[in-house]
Chain A
Amino acid sequence: MKSTLFALTLLVLSSISYSCGDKKPNPEATPISEEKSAIKTLEIEKPQLTFGFIKLTDMAPLAIAKEKGFFEEEGLFVSVEAQSNWKNILDRVIDGQLDGSHMLAGQPIAAGSGFGRQAELVTPFSMDLNGNGITVSNDVWSKMKPHIPKDADGKPVHPIKAETLKPVIDSYKSSGKAFKMGMVFPVSTHNYEIRYWLASAGIHPGMYTKDNIQGQVDAEVLLSVTPPPQMPATLEAGTIHGYCVGEPWNQQAVFKGIGVPVTTNYDIWKNNPEKVFVMTKKFVEENPNTAVAVTKALIRAGKWLDTPGNRKEAVKILSMPQYVGADEVVLANSMTGTFEFEKGDKRAMPDFNVFYRYNATYPFYSDGVWFLTQMRRWGQIPDTKSADWYDTKIREIYRPDIWKKAAELLVAEGHIPTVDIPETDGYKPATTDFIDGKNFDAKDPIAYINSFKIGNKD
C-alpha cells in the first residue's frame, strides 16, 4: 500500500513538473490582435462574454460556436457555464451575471407578458426545432401497452395518443393515488406540449388562475416542475409517473431502463420551436454590434450542425463533461436522426433535432404568438387580450431585425447562401400540423384559443 502511495506522490510530482516544463507553442494558436469580425465592419463593444445553458442537447449551437471557433472569428471570447435550473438562468440573465443564455422559448415571452418575474428580454435567435419527448415509467407503460394499436410487426403504432393513458389515470384515481407528471418549467415548451397532448385526449391537466399559480386547478394529472437533468432520477424514485423533457433525458431513461418514451413533440406539433437564445434589451441596446456578432456565430453553428455528416462530431463535443456530459451513445441516439422508444424499438426521426433547416434559426413572430395563446389558454395570462396585443407584445420580444442583420453579413462574407434568408413578414402561414389537427393562424390568435375544448376562452 505504501509503495502505491509513494508511486502516486511521484506521479503527481512528475505530472506537475511535466506540465511546468512543457513550453512547446501550439501551432494552432494563431495570435488574435483585431477585435473585429472577419469582414471588419463590426466594432465589438464587449468581447468577453459569459453565456449560460442547461444540460440539454439543444444547447448544441452554443457548444459548437465555441468549439468550432465561430465566436472567436467574430472577435468574441465566450465562456459557457452550465446552470442548475431555468429559474436560475432567468434570474442570472436579468441580473446581468450572464450576458445571454440558452432559454425556453416561453421564458422571455412570459417575462414580458405578466407571468413570473418581469423583465425586458429579447430573442434574436431561435436555437432549434423539436427535440422533446414524453416518457412514462415502466409500470405506466405496461398498463398503457394493451390499449395501443399494433402494426403488422407487432410494434406500437405512432403517434401514441393520450387516450391510451386515460385508463391508467382512471385506475390510479380509483385506487386513490394521484397521477403525477414532471415538466421542466411553468412556461416551458414541455409544459404546453404535455398539456396539449393530454388535453387533446380530454384529460384535464389543470389550470393556472390569478391566485393559484401551481397550475393544478381541476387537474386530472398533477404537473410539477423538475429540472431536466434530474428527471430520470425523479422518475426512478417514483415521485412522478412520467415526464416531458428535452434530450438526452428521454434516451437516458431508455438506457437506464427506468422508463419508456411514448411520443415526441414532433408528433404533437410538427417542427415546433423549442429553445431560444436570450439577451436583455438593455444589453442589446448598449452593445448592438456584439448582439449581431453573437447571432452571426450562432447561425453559423446552426448551419454546421445541420450539415450532413457533422452530427457525429457534434455528439462528441456535447459529451464533454462541461457541456451535456452524458455518454456518447445516449446523445447519439437522438442527435443522429433516430429515436429509441421501447428498448430495441429504434425508429428513424430525421427531423427530431433541427438546428438550421426550415429556417429554424429565424425568430418567427408566429412561434412566439403560439406560446402566448397557450399561456392564455391555461390561465397564465389571466385576462382577455385583444388580437393586437399579441402582435405588439411579440414584436417587443422577438427581434428578427437583429437576425436579419447578422444573416445579411454572413451572406456578404459567403458563409450562407442568400436563399437561407426567408422572405417573410415574421409570420409563418397557418398550419394544421398538430396532433389534434387544429388550425393555427398566428394572425388570428383569439380564434385559435377558442377552438379548444379544455382551457380558457376569449
Chain B
Amino acid sequence: MSKKLSKSIRFIGLGFLEPLIHLIQGKETRKNLILVLKKIIAPLASFVLFMGVWQTGAQLLYNKEADYRIEKARTEQGDEAAIKMKECIISGDVSCQPNTLPSPAQVKVSFFKLIEDHKIIRQDKKDFKEKTASLNQKRIADGKEAITYTGRPSFVDQIITSIKTVFAGFLLAILIAVPIGIIIGLSETLRDSFNWLIQIFKPVSPVVWLLLVFMIVKTVTKDSNTDSAFIISFISVGLCSMWATLVNTTMGVATVDQDFLNVAKVLKLGSFQKVFKIILPSSLPLIFTGLRITLSVAWMVLIAIELLAQSPGLGSFVWEEFQNGANDSNSKIIVAMFVIGIIGFLLDRIMLTIQKLISFNKNEGN
C-alpha cells in the first residue's frame, strides 16, 4: 500500500513529499528527518528568503522614490510643501504615492481584489443572461445569432483564454512538427534539403511571426465574423513554439539505434509498421523533450503575442494594467507574473507526467 502510494507520488512529480509521509508513518525517523530538512525545509527557507529580499527591495525603492518626491517639493516650492508631501505620503493618499515595485503585501491585496472582481463580473454575466433571455429566444427563433455578454472579461476569464490559446497553439505545433519531423528524420536527403529553412525560421521572434500570421489570416478571414484575434494568436503561438519539437523529432527519428532497424529488417516489417512499432517508440523520449520545450516556449511567447493581437488574455491584461498606470496597477502586474509562472510550472509538470506514463524507460527525464 505505502509503496504504491510513494510510487504514485513520485510519478506526479511530488517526490519531495515522500520522506514526510515516511516520517508520519514513523519509518526510519532519523534518515527521513534529514531528508525532510533537505527536501522541504530548505526550499521553504529559500521561499522565505525570497520574500525577505523582495520586501526589503521594495521598501528601499519606495523610500528612494518618496525621498525624491519630498526633495523635489522642497527645491521647487519650499520647506512647507516638503512637509506637506511627507505627510501626504505617510497618510497613504493616492495622489502622492510613490510609484515603484510593490511589496508582497500590496500584491496580496491586489490578488484578492482580482478574485473579488471576478465574482462581480460573474454576477453581472448572469444578470445579462437573464436580461437578454427572452430577446435571445426570439432572435434564435428568427435564425439570428444570440446576443452575447458585452462586459469585460475578468482576470480568471483571461487566464482561461490564455490557457485555451496555448493549448490550441500547442496542438497545432504537434500536428505540424511531429509528422514533418518524422518524414524529414527518415531521409537524410530531405533533412539536408530542408535544414536551411528550419535554421532560418527557428530564431524568428514571436512578434514577427504574429505579423506574418496577421497578414495571412486577415485576408483569409476577410468576410467572416469569426474572432480573428484568437485565430491569429494561437497560430502564432503554434508557429513560434513548434521548432523545438520539429528539431527533436527529426533528431530522434534519425538516431534510432541501428540494432532496432536491423530487427525490423529481419522481421520484414513494412514501412508503416517500422515507423509505428520501432522508430516512434524509440524516439519518444526525444520527441517529448521537444514537446516540453515547445509548451514552455508557447506559454512564454503567448504574453507578447496576446498583447499585440489584442486577444483578451493575460498578455493584454498585463499591457492594459501597464497602460492604466493606476496606483494598484503595478501590483496587479506582479500578480499576473506569478500566475503566469505558476501555470507555466504546472504545464511542465503535466508534460513530464505524461512523458513518464508513455515512455519505456521510466528513468528518462527529470
User: Chain B 120-163 against A: per-residue CB contact (8 Å), 1 yes, 0 no?
Assistant: 00110011101111110011000001011011100000000000
Knowing A26-B123, A48-B145, A77-B147, the reply to whether A343 touches B132 (Cβ < 8 A) is no
Closest to A22 in B: B123
- Cβ-based interface call for A176 (8 A): no
- Cβ-based interface call for B204 (8 A): no
Contacts of B327 in A (CB 8 A): 327
Are B152's CB and A322's CB within 8 A?
yes
Are A257's CB and B147's CB within 8 A?
no
Contacts of B44 in A (CB 8 A): 1
Are B310's CB and A84's CB within 8 A?
yes
Closest to B73 in A: A343
* Minimum CB–CB distance for A297 against chain B, Å: 13
* Minimum CB–CB distance for A60 against chain B, Å: 16
- Cβ-based interface call for A38 (8 A): no
- Cβ-based interface call for B12 (8 A): no
In the complex the two chains form, what is the Cα distance from A230 to B325 in whole Å?
Answer: 10
Are B130's CB and A25's CB within 8 A?
yes
Are A326's CB and B324's CB within 8 A?
yes
* Minimum CB–CB distance for B43 against chain A, Å: 11
Closest to B228 in A: A97
Interface range for A? 35 or more
Are A78's CB and B47's CB within 8 A?
no
Are B115's CB and A26's CB within 8 A?
no
In the complex the two chains form, what is the Cα distance from A88 to B126 in whole Å?
Answer: 32
- Cβ-based interface call for A308 (8 A): no
Are A32's CB and B325's CB within 8 A?
no
Contacts of B122 in A (CB 8 A): 19
* Minimum CB–CB distance for B127 against chain A, Å: 4
Are B119's CB and A18's CB within 8 A?
yes
Are B147's CB and A47's CB within 8 A?
yes
* Minimum CB–CB distance for A167 against chain B, Å: 21
- Cβ-based interface call for B321 (8 A): yes
Closest to B148 in A: A48
Are A48's CB and B77's CB within 8 A?
no
Question: Is chain A's binding surface mostly helix, strand, loop or mixed?
Answer: loop
User: Chain A 24-40 against B: per-residue CB contact (8 Å), 1 yes, 0 no?
Assistant: 01101111111100000
In the complex the two chains form, what is the Cα distance from A145 to B108 in whole Å?
Answer: 44
Contacts of A32 in B (CB 8 A): 131-132, 134-135
- Cβ-based interface call for B296 (8 A): no
Interface range for B? 35 or more
- Cβ-based interface call for A319 (8 A): yes
Q: Which of A209-236 contact B (CB under 8 A)?
A: 229-230, 232
Contacts of A81 in B (CB 8 A): 310, 312
- Cβ-based interface call for B76 (8 A): yes
Are A257's CB and B69's CB within 8 A?
yes
Closest to B147 in A: A77
Are B326's CB and A319's CB within 8 A?
yes
A-B CB pair tally, cutoff 8 Å: 117
- Cβ-based interface call for A252 (8 A): yes
Are A83's CB and B131's CB within 8 A?
no
Closest to A66 in B: B150
User: Chain A 316-351 against B: per-residue CB contact (8 Å), 1 yes, 0 no?
Assistant: 000101101111111000000000001110000000
* Minimum CB–CB distance for A37 against chain B, Å: 14
* Minimum CB–CB distance for A415 against chain B, Å: 22
User: Chain A 237-255 against B: per-residue CB contact (8 Å), 1 yes, 0 no?
Assistant: 0000000000000001001
In the complex the two chains form, what is the Cα distance from A35 to B222 in whole Å?
Answer: 28
In the complex the two chains form, what is the Cα distance from A81 to B319 in whole Å?
Answer: 13
Are B131's CB and A31's CB within 8 A?
yes
* Minimum CB–CB distance for A352 against chain B, Å: 19
- Cβ-based interface call for A451 (8 A): no
* Minimum CB–CB distance for A156 against chain B, Å: 13
- Cβ-based interface call for A82 (8 A): yes
Contacts of B134 in A (CB 8 A): 31-33
Contacts of A12 in B (CB 8 A): 115
Are A84's CB and B307's CB within 8 A?
yes
In the complex the two chains form, what is the Cα distance from A377 to B115 in whole Å?
Answer: 53
* Minimum CB–CB distance for A408 against chain B, Å: 27
- Cβ-based interface call for B72 (8 A): yes
Are A328's CB and B94's CB within 8 A?
yes
Are A79's CB and B95's CB within 8 A?
no
Q: Which of B297-344 contact A (CB under 8 A)?
A: 307-308, 310, 312, 319-327, 329
Are B94's CB and A329's CB within 8 A?
yes
Contacts of A230 in B (CB 8 A): 323
Closest to B224 in A: A96
Contacts of A82 in B (CB 8 A): 320, 323
In the complex the two chains form, what is the Cα distance from A249 to B295 in whole Å?
Answer: 38
Are B324's CB and A29's CB within 8 A?
no
- Cβ-based interface call for B99 (8 A): yes
In the complex the two chains form, what is the Cα distance from A342 to B72 in whole Å?
Answer: 12
Are A26's CB and B127's CB within 8 A?
yes
* Minimum CB–CB distance for A175 against chain B, Å: 24
- Cβ-based interface call for B354 (8 A): no
Contacts of A92 in B (CB 8 A): 310
Are B147's CB and A83's CB within 8 A?
no
Are B325's CB and A232's CB within 8 A?
yes
- Cβ-based interface call for A177 (8 A): no
Are B147's CB and A344's CB within 8 A?
no
Are B326's CB and A77's CB within 8 A?
no
Give the residue of B118, B127, B145 whose beta carbon is less than 8 angstroms from that of A28. Answer: B127
Are B325's CB and A48's CB within 8 A?
no
- Cβ-based interface call for A303 (8 A): no
Are A325's CB and B310's CB within 8 A?
no
**Residue of A12, A28, A326 with highest tally of chain B CB at under 10 A:** A326
- Cβ-based interface call for B53 (8 A): no
In the complex the two chains form, what is the Cα distance from A243 to B345 in whole Å?
Answer: 42
Contacts of A95 in B (CB 8 A): 218, 222
In the complex the two chains form, what is the Cα distance from A157 to B133 in whole Å?
Answer: 60
Residues of A at the B interface (CB closer than 8 Å) are 1, 12, 15, 18-19, 22, 25-26, 28-35, 47-48, 55, 66, 77-79, 81-84, 88, 92, 95, 97, 229-230, 232, 252, 255-257, 319, 321-322, 324-330, 342-344
Give 10 new A-B contacts, CB below 8 A, not counting A25-B130, A32-B135, A33-B134: A15-B115, A28-B127, A29-B127, A29-B131, A32-B131, A35-B135, A255-B95, A321-B321, A322-B320, A325-B325
Residues of B at the A interface (CB closer than 8 Å) are 44, 47-48, 68-69, 72-73, 76-77, 81, 94-96, 99, 115, 118-119, 122-123, 126-128, 130-135, 138-139, 145, 147-148, 150-152, 218, 222, 228-229, 307-308, 310, 312, 319-327, 329
18 contacts between A and B (CB under 8 A): A30-B131, A48-B147, A48-B148, A48-B150, A55-B324, A84-B308, A88-B310, A95-B218, A229-B322, A229-B323, A321-B326, A325-B324, A325-B329, A326-B324, A326-B326, A329-B94, A329-B95, A344-B77
Top 7 closest A-B pairs, CB basis?
Answer: A325-B324, A229-B323, A322-B152, A29-B127, A329-B95, A33-B134, A79-B150
